[in-house]
Structure formats: C-alpha cells, structure tokens
Structure 1
Amino acid sequence: MISVFGSANMDLVAYVAQAPKPGETITGRAFRSIPGGKGANQAIAAARAGGRVAFLGAVGDDAFGPGLRAALAGAGVDTSGVRTVPGPSGVAHIVVQDGGDNSIIVVPGANGALTGPSAEDAETIGRSRALLLQLELPMEAVVDAACLAGAVTGAATGAEVILTPAPAVPLPAELLAAVGVIVPNEHEAAVLTGRDDPCDALEALLELVPEAVVTLGARGALYGSRDGVRLHEPAVPVRAVDTTAAGDTFAGALAVARTEGLGPERALRFASAAAALSVRREGASTSMPHRPDIDRLVRDRT
C-alpha cells in the first residue's frame, strides 16, 4: 500500500492567453473548479496508475470539503484517513496560459490545521510500503510523518519516504534523514542546493539523501543514487495543454513503480510516461492517466 500524507485543495483555474501583469485586468477564456492539492493529486495519480492508496489529510466544513473527499474516493483512494475540521478547505488559484505554463497561489485552509499524523494515520503508514510527502502542510507535520515511516539515514525499515519538496523551502536535517527519494523539479532543486545546473544539483542532493530524481519538464528527468547510478530519461514529445500537476502525476506513478519492484530505469520511464499523458489534458486530478494508458505508452517507447 502507498500512503499519502498531504494537502487537499480545490483548484480554481482560469485559462488565459497570457497571464496578467501587475495592475492589469484581462479576460479569460474559461474557468473550472477542480479537486487538487499536491497530496490529493499524488494520491489520485498513484491510484490511477495501479496502486492501492490511502490519503491522510484534512478538508474544511465548507462547500468544497465534500467535493474533495468524493474526488479521492472516486479514484479508488481510501479516504478513511481524511478528517473534517472547522473552517474553509484549502484552495489554489491557478492561471493557465495557452501553451500550458501556469502560476499558482495556494491558501492552506484546513491543511494548515494538520500539526502531525494521528494515531490512526500512524497505523496506516506502518502498513505501507511507501509514504508520499510534499510541503503544503506545516513542516512539523511532514517531519513527524516521515519519522513514523521508519526510513532512517536511507535504510528503510518501514515505508520508503518519497518527498516532493514543493514549495521549496529549507529542509530540516531530521526530515532529510528519513527521506529515501527526493523528487524536485529543476527550479526546486536549484533552490535547495544553490546550483542552477540540474546535473550539479542532482549531485548535491545525493549528499543529503540516498536517491534523487530531478524533473526537467520537456527535457525529461534525471536520476541518481549514492551507489553511482546516473540516468537521464528523455521526455515523451507532446503538445502540452496544461502542465498543472504533471510533477504530482510523476511522483504518484514513481511510487507505484517502486512498490512494484521496478528498477530505476523502468520506474523512471513509467513515471515519465504518466506525466506526459497528464499534460495533454486540462486540469490537475482530471488529467491524470489510468494504468492501461501508461502501460501502452511505455510499450510504445521501448
């Protein structure tokens, strides 16, 4: 099983030809409300990619809460660990430009109320083979969840911790000690390491954690491990419609591949295929591919 301890947001998405400049008002071509949040996105991506997934998080007692819970359940995610707290659910205001580039403002809402995993969360994490984490929850909650997984200094005695360090902030040593695989995009990798070149950033990340994947968008993804393996998986050529949650799709699919025992090269190819399929459609959770489509693209690429 894969556990995801993370955020659930309602994405309020505006589609425009070009994002507005400060002080500018423009007319968009479409608007959609789509369940999202990095945690919920990764849970849905992993479930659609064939994983057995439990989501651990919080929604508010507002109108968005039931919709977020229903979206997770509809994808086959176990929502017994989703709690409802007083106040608004998390929201994300997303502006998507023609061509797929986006900018995002996240308001944490109920996600900010999570100060750590509950006793029930701890039991679920203890039964899992992988724990997916992101940084849209309070840092102390993320650290506590990582430590519960039992992955210490890279020797996983429990669930393998896979961390997407987004939004990119300084990472506590206690968290890094529990992480098995870190999966930043190239911008996040540069922020974390101070190195703009993705290859240099990968090497710096490996000084912190046993394995690292740096996603490069249209240029694919880099993988490295402390045992000397270095890989570059080229991106699948696609016409991007909306890149929102491509990274979350990658992370969710990567977790599935690793829990199924795939080696680094095959796992990277599987995750890259899933991400490529996701950018062909609008939305976050609504764009995530199902296992047969991922497998088909992987076969076509080999």
Structure 2
Amino acid sequence: MNTASSEGLPLLVFIGTATTDTIALVEKYPEPDSRTVAEDLVTAGGGPAATAAVAAARTGARTAFIGTVGTDSDGERIVADLEAEGIDVSAVTRSTSHPSGASIVVVARTGSTRSIITRPGPSLDLTGNAAAHALMSKAAWIHADHMGWPALAGRKDIEGSCRLSVDGGNPIPGFTPDGVDLYVPTIEQLAKTFREKHSSDPDVLLRSARNAGARTVVATGGRHGSWGLGPGGAMVHVPAFASSIRSTLGAGDVFHGVLLASLAAGHSLPEAMQDASEAAAKSCEALEGRSGIPRSTHPPVFQPGPASGQPGGSRAG
C-alpha cells in the first residue's frame, strides 16, 4: 500500500478506465440457451489503467488515478478499492448521466479461453478538472490506456514536464507513438499497427515502433514472454515466468504497472521487464485481475539522476 514511505518517490499518474468486473469460472464455454454452473464467481475491480495503478502501488510506488465513474454503487466501490490501495483518487470525477463501467467475464478451463461482455464507463474529459491538472503537473510519469490517451492527446501543458507511457493493448483510433517515452502494446496489436511491414518478427515490429517515434517499446506476448527495445538499440527478450494459471484477466495491466514502477525506481529495462513478468505471472494464479498481484514488503529504491524514470539505470542493492 502507498503510505508515508512513498513520500519523495516520483509520482506515477494513471489515466483511463476503471470498472467493476464479475468473473465466472466454468469448465467449458456455455452453449446457447443453456444453464451452466460456475466453479467460482467473483466480483472485483478492473480496467486497464486502474489495475496498472494497483500493481504499481503494491510495489510501494507513489501513485494516483484519474478517471470518471458513475454516481452508482459500482462507482463507489471502484473508488473505495483504489483508495484502499493507497492510490490518490482526488481527481476521479463522477458522471450523473452515465453508469460506471462494468464487465461480465466468462473464463473457460477447456481451451483456456475467456469472453468479456462490457458496459463502457463514462467518457473521460479533463477540461476543468483542477485536481487532475495539479496531479499531472507533479507527475514524473503519466500512463494512459485506450480511454486515457484521447483525453491527453495534444495537451501542451504536460509536454516536457513528465514522461508519457501508453498501454497499446487495445486499439486507439488515430494513435501514433511519436514522442511517447514508453509504448507497451501486445505483440499482436503491434503487428496490426505496423502491418505494412508484413512481418511477425518481434525485432522488426519493435524497431518499426521505434522508427515511428516511440523512445522505448515493450511488447507482451503471453506465454512467449516479452520483448523490449530501449534508446540503446539492443533488443531484450524476457521469457514468461512459470505459474499455475487460473485466469489471465488483467495480466497485461499488471505488467504495465510494475514495469513503469520499476523503471521509475531507476531499474534498467531488462530488470523492469523481469519484475513485470514475474508479477503478471503471479497475478494469473487468481481468477480476477487483482487479488494475485504481489505486494512488496520493501519500498522501491529511487535512484536520482539520469537513470531515474527512464530505461537504463541499474538495480540498487
């Protein structure tokens, strides 16, 4: 949990989606007009940016979340869950015209598949949100998901004041990684974005994203691990950690949050990818995307200087 021990650490601001997820574990995916008995049924917080914020907070990082929820009970639970993790929720706004985001997720053991039925939450508009502007002005990093990035695009007030991280796992209409400090798509989404290269080679795909303006690219590939390419130009591959997988829901979001927290603490890109891969693997041992996220008992060591907040530092101790 974020406590006073996080004071003095760089502020990581996560912008985008927060939802309430109901997850059902079944033996096989239901047939039409059937009744299926679930092996387990849980309700928990979700959303790419919100779950990434939780993962970062559990490393001991200083975190804040900016998003919009409804004035319903789901919204109250979403905010309370984030606050319980020590995350600053002072810039979360409430919509009186739209319910909070919510999803129903069916996870099937047979075939290790899942289906997500979602009710999108209220749109995010930072106009007039003084608390959000205050947080962003103090941020060392701002991380945005597919809903958060459109609210940030073109904002002159944050240019040069912090580093930008973008979750590229979901399509973002009109998005280009030009000027993004940390671009983290799935390898599948990266292939779709740069399909003109007609290649599935991670090296080619990551270099295409670098050539398009991203300063550091990290692509996730599930059981195949992750690939990273930083300013130094050397490709990094980190194999997936072995774990007893119950559900992969939210694993990518956990990866993003821990990756960013580790980089912000001054760790090198390979070290940060190792940290993120291990945390994501452990999160897969739980049915929903948060209860399995590991919690560090030691706050991160912040190393001031050129390495802080960007790939290329080294792990302290």
TM class by smaller structure: 0.7 to 0.9
2:69 counterpart of 1:59: yes
> Equivalences for 1:241-256 in 2 at 5 Å?
241-256=246-261
2:205 counterpart of 1:201: yes
CA contact (8 A) 2:255 2:280 kept: yes
The one of 116, 123, 128 equivalent to 2:126 is 116
Q: CA 1:211–1:93 in 2, change beyond 3 Å: closer, same or farther?
A: same
Q: Which one is further off, 29-38 or 253-262?
A: 29-38
Shift of 1:249: 0.5
Please give the alpha-carbon distance, in whole angstroms, between the structure 1 residues aligned to 2:18 and 2:108: 23
Higher Cα Rg, which structure: 2
Q: CA 1:42–1:144 in 2, change beyond 3 Å: closer, same or farther?
A: farther
CA contact (8 A) 2:90 2:131 kept: no
CA contact (8 A) 2:51 2:289 kept: yes
Read off the aligned partner of 1:121 and give its amino acid letter.
Answer: A
Give the structure 2 partner of residue 15 of structure 1: 25
Please give the alpha-carbon distance, in whole angstroms, between the structure 2 residues aligned to 1:134 and 1:18: 31
- Structure 1 gap segments, 5+ residues each: 151-156, 296-302
Please give the alpha-carbon distance, in whole angstroms, between the structure 2 residues aligned to 1:144 and 1:207: 21
The one of 31, 34, 41 equivalent to 1:25 is 34
Q: Deviations over 1:119-169 (max 9, x none)?
A: 3212211211111110035x5314256x5432xxxxxx3221111123224
1:81 alignment partner, SS class: coil
2:242 counterpart of 1:237: yes
The one of 97, 100, 108 equivalent to 1:89 is 100
- Structure 2 gap segments, 5+ residues each: 1-10, 301-317
> What TM-score do the two structures reach when normalised by structure 1?
0.86
Shift of 1:198: 3.0
Please give the alpha-carbon distance, in whole angstroms, between the structure 1 residues aligned to 2:299 and 2:277: 9
2:139 alignment partner, SS class: coil
Please give the alpha-carbon distance, in whole angstroms, between the structure 2 residues aligned to 1:273 and 1:43: 17
Q: Deviations over 1:50-79 (max 9, x none)?
A: 110011111101110111011001111011
2:78 counterpart of 1:75: no
Identity of aligned residues (%): 27
2:143 alignment partner, SS class: strand
Please give the alpha-carbon distance, in whole angstroms, between the structure 2 residues aligned to 1:294 and 1:271: 16
2:200 alignment partner, SS class: coil
Q: Which one is further off, 46-55 or 91-100?
A: 91-100
2:291 alignment partner, SS class: helix
2:89 alignment partner, SS class: strand
Q: CA 1:168–1:293 in 2, change beyond 3 Å: closer, same or farther?
A: farther
The one of 38, 41, 53 equivalent to 1:43 is 53
Q: Deviations over 1:66-123 (max 9, x none)?
A: 110110011110111111111310112211122754232332122x2x1335232122
Query: RMSD of the TM alignment (CA)?
Result: 2.2
Please give the alpha-carbon distance, in whole angstroms, between the structure 2 residues aligned to 1:24 and 1:178: 49
CA contact (8 A) 1:162 1:182 kept: yes
2:165 counterpart of 1:162: yes
1:286 alignment partner, SS class: coil
2:211 alignment partner, SS class: coil
CA contact (8 A) 1:38 1:136 kept: no
The one of 260, 278, 286 equivalent to 1:281 is 286
> Equivalences for 1:100-115 in 2 at 5 Å?
101-110=113-122, 112=123, 114-115=124-125
2:218 counterpart of 1:227: no
Shift of 1:45: 0.8
Aligned length: 282
The one of 216, 219, 228 equivalent to 2:221 is 216
Shift of 1:24: 5.3
Give structure 1 regions of 4+ aligned residues with deviation exceeding 4 angstroms.
none
Read off the aligned partner of 2:45 and give its amino acid letter.
Answer: P
